[in-house]
Structure formats: C-alpha cells, structure tokens
Amino acid sequence: MICPRGRAGVANNHDDYGQKDDGSAFDGTGVGRCWPILTGERGHYELAAGRDPKPFITTIENFSNEGGMITEQVWDGEILPHAE
C-alpha cells in the first residue's frame, strides 16, 4: 500500500485482523489495513534475495516516532469523530 510516508505492508481482509470500516472492533471479520511493521518483513525478504532493502528501511524510519517506535497498523479509512 502506498502511504504518505512510504510503501507499507497490508494485512489482507481474510487474515483475521483489523477493525470494521465503521471503526468497530474486530469480531472475527475485519478490513485489511496498512501495517508498517510488515514493511520490515519485506525488507528482510529483499535482503535475503540479494536485493536492496534500503527503501523499506527508509519507510520504517518515516513511520517511526521521535523515539524510534513504529505502530503495528495504521487506520486508513475516513476520520471517525466518534472514535477520537
């Protein structure tokens, strides 16, 4: 998935993860979302395959906060005022 901070991994709709489009909790079904942490897995794959992992490292750096922490997943739907 292309995000403002870079290309990130995505959990698929049938991976048993993610909230519903209305923001309600996962109850066995959900919607695949942007998972920056999966970008690290892709970087490992690229490195093992002999390719350049730098674009994935840069993306992880772009998703991290001032303390270097990265979020597991990112809400990519419409803003939900009731959920703020």
Residue 19 neighbours by CB distance under 10 Å: 18
Say whether pTM exceeds 0.75: no
Count Cα atoms within 13 angstroms, Cβ side, for 56: 18
Q: With contact defined as beta carbons under 8 Å apart, do 8 and 16 qualify? A: no
| Tokens standing for residue 1 | 């998935």
pLDDT tens digits along 10-49: 766 566 667 787 878 778 777 777 888 888 888 999 999 9
Q: Could you tell me the maximum CA-CA distance found in the chain, to the nearest angstrom?
A: 46
Q: Per-residue pLDDT tens for 59-76?
A: 889 988 999 898 877 777
Helix 36-48 to helix 54-63 angle (10° resolution) is: 160
